[in-house]
Structure 1
Amino acid sequence: MPAAWSCGWKSWKPKGWGRLAVRWRPPVGSLRPPSSRLEGLVPYDPKYIPAEVMLSANENPSDVPEQLRQELARALKGVPFNRYPDPLGNQLRATIAEANGLEADWVLLGNGGDELLFNVALAWGGSGRTFLDLPPTFSVYAANAQVTNTTVVSVARRADFSIDEEAVLARVAQGDIDYVIVASPNNPTGQLASEEFLLRLLDATDALVLVDEAYFEFSHRTMRPYLESHENLLILRTFSKAFSLAGVRLGYLLGHPSVIRQFLKVRQPYSVDALSQAVGQVVFQNRALFQEGIEAIRQQRARLFEGLRAIPGVQVFESDANYLLFRMARAGEAWEYLLGEGVLVRDFSTAPMLENCLRVSVGSPEQNDRFLQALRRFVMGGAPGEKA
């Protein structure tokens, strides 16, 4: 007889050889806590509440042009629902690459820009690594870093929301930054980062520099010409804004093949479904049809800016995107009043460095009028529904 038997417990010996050691069992119905990295992390909440006038999420006020819908229907009819999609969406990948004068291995598709942003934190962040943030900016950048146990270092923007360029360059000169994200135009403040600054930044560090160009169609400015000469430059774009596909979830990266290969290691398999690939292919091939709508948004942006500036007590900030940030007293109350009037805007009134600020997406002329009239009524103390 052996001296002891293993039987799924720690050990068991015959009487007199020791006592039975019982394996620990958790209480029935208990749950081990989640990762400590989630402590203090606030879920992203855009307050996307149904309203008659939706001006909170920087969506295109116009849907996909009607003349494309039949072509989209034909494309979707040919999608085999029982088959997995092309893992990399190579047809759309090649189409985007050709439009940008690149080979397909310079492009990576994602399930919206959000998946690609998370992949940046997975590939270039992690324990012992550091992300440089430029707040106030898109809060998801820092949230992704926290989830991946990446150290976040912040260089705050100036009071006018411009980048403190010399402070950023001084910080990367310390040599410990692994990746930087610069939104250009910046969300939610709207300003472009200067091309000169971005080139200085790229030359000053070996960190990965992601330029988030989600709104570049409205700014007409891009860092694409510098992609081949800077291996550490990565560009993010999306179909959600200019191309009216926020509901489809499709974005892409432009970057050096050596960088794109690293993202292939962390991306979710089949993350861009076959329907999104088919829709993206049709829309991107017909992107010229969206140009008139893009220019209309730019014109309405200027009109909305002047309308906000004419309201007493409202400070509105210049924007190169399809939204405007403005500051006013009692901004939180104004947000509630506007919602009561059927107009939803984005509330940043309690966000750090954005106190008393709201952001309004550029809508159709009628939507913009309704917003301005309602905001004017609030400022003037009029009752809801009164003519301003």
Structure 2
Amino acid sequence: MRRCAGARSVREPAAHLRDLVPYDPKYIPAEVMVSANENPDDVPESLRTDIMRAIRRVALNRYPDPLANGLRDLIAEANGLDRDQVLIGNGGDELLFDTALAWGGPGRVFLNMPPTFSVYENNALLTGTSVVEVPRRANFRVDEEAVVARLSRGDVDFTIVTSPNNPTGDAVSESFVRRVLEASDALVVVDEAYFEFSRKTVRPLLENYENLVILRTFSKAFSLAGVRVGYLLGSERVLSEYKKVRQPYSVDAISQVVASTVYENRSKFVFGIERIVSERERMFERLGQMDGIEAFPSESNFILLRMEGASDAWRELLARGVLVRDFSRTRYLEGCLRVSVGTPQENDRFLQTLADIAASRRAR
């Protein structure tokens, strides 16, 4: 943009933004999109008809229900909770940021377990929260003893345990989460964004631990990544603190009725989830047969793999129409790529293309 002579420049932004790198999902159009951990199947057509019928009843000139109480009631009933133990957000991302706003800040401490979802640390830095790390082991499993020992020092204000973890795919045990909850009074957020694929949840622990909050989303198993709805399960007292920092009307009326319709019909997604799990196991087996590729066990809808020249392989895959996620230059994930489980046809395309790339390298 050309500036006029004598025009003022803007003052510098907040100092803590200087070295902060924006979250970049590396969204690049491709024939096979297996980079963002989306459900490869859209909402069923019959259910889409129900959704459009519900949308037509929405008064677009009115503000939405600020707390999405209809959706809260559906989720609460399904989980054996009261309405006040559920909070809806604009995707899980808003609720993660609200966590940092409510439990972080200057003089506060967040315990991170990298490699994990990078947004956790970014949110801490944006809110002036100090970050302490307990890195995962070489096999990407949580260093459980080190985590519990660090929490036991008593200075951590909140931590996030991701199960299954993104991008490594491993889930933690309920017994470990219980130890974390008992190690201190820190808020413990268990991010269960992918729990439908692992079939593991720590929901039973909510009965006895006020410092536990569970995060879930509609973006993965329920094919609503484009709608942006997530939710928290927790104690009424804890969630009341979230309400103080969340944006008013953050979940629009359209998203509320779409998510409500999908949740009422969530049984229609069971077959698709089971197919993703089956395809994940098939892909893992095939990857394990490829020379020079180390695939890590996953309980989610993606697989992390490590290979020599991963960055070049990412570019070669993209040149052949297949987009995966490149983590090869990320700390703790050097040499790694992550592939989402797509349709069987997409998975075949990825596997064959990767095998061709590996074969061409051996022939050089």
User: What pairs with 1:176-325 in structure 2 (closer than 5 Å)?
Assistant: 176-325=155-304
Post-superposition shift, 1:374?
Answer: 0.5
Report SS of the residue matched to 1:206. coil
How many aligned residue pairs are there? Answer: 357
Counterpart for residue 35 of structure 2: 56
Q: 2:122 aligns with which of 135, 139, 143?
A: 143
Query: Is 2:107 the partner of 1:128?
Result: yes
Q: CA RMSD in A?
A: 1.0
Identity, in percent, stands at 62
State the distance in 2 between where 1:148 and 1:180 align.
15
Q: 2:65 aligns with which of 81, 86, 91?
A: 86
Query: Is 2:330 the partner of 1:339?
Result: no
Report SS of the residue matched to 1:227. helix
Counterpart for residue 337 of structure 2: 358
**Which one has the bigger helix percentage?**
2
State the distance in 1 between where 2:101 and 2:284 align.
38
Counterpart for residue 367 of structure 1: 346
State the distance in 1 between where 2:48 and 2:226 align.
15
CA-to-partner distance for each residue in 1:312-355, whole Å, 9 max, x for gaps?
Answer: 10000000000000000000000000001100000000000000
Counterpart for residue 22 of structure 1: none
Report SS of the residue matched to 2:207. coil
Post-superposition shift, 1:307?
Answer: 1.1
Gaps of 5+ in 2: 1-5
Post-superposition shift, 1:28?
Answer: 4.5
Post-superposition shift, 1:30?
Answer: 2.2
Gaps of 5+ in 1: 1-26, 384-388
Runs of 4+ in 1 over 6 A off after TM superposition: none
State the distance in 2 between where 1:335 and 1:183 align.
26
TM-score (ref. length: structure 1): 0.91
Post-superposition shift, 1:31?
Answer: 1.4
State the distance in 2 between where 1:184 and 1:344 align.
25
TM-score (ref. length: structure 2): 0.97
State the distance in 2 between where 1:209 and 1:317 align.
26
State the distance in 2 between where 1:382 and 1:33 align.
48
Counterpart for residue 3 of structure 2: none
CA-to-partner distance for each residue in 1:144-186, whole Å, 9 max, x for gaps?
Answer: 0000000000000000000111111111111100000010000
State the distance in 2 between where 1:162 and 1:69 align.
39
Report SS of the residue matched to 2:331. coil
Counterpart for residue 104 of structure 1: 83
CA-to-partner distance for each residue in 1:119-147, whole Å, 9 max, x for gaps?
Answer: 00000000000000000000000000000
Report SS of the residue matched to 2:213. strand
The structure whose Rg is larger is 1
Post-superposition shift, 1:67?
Answer: 1.3
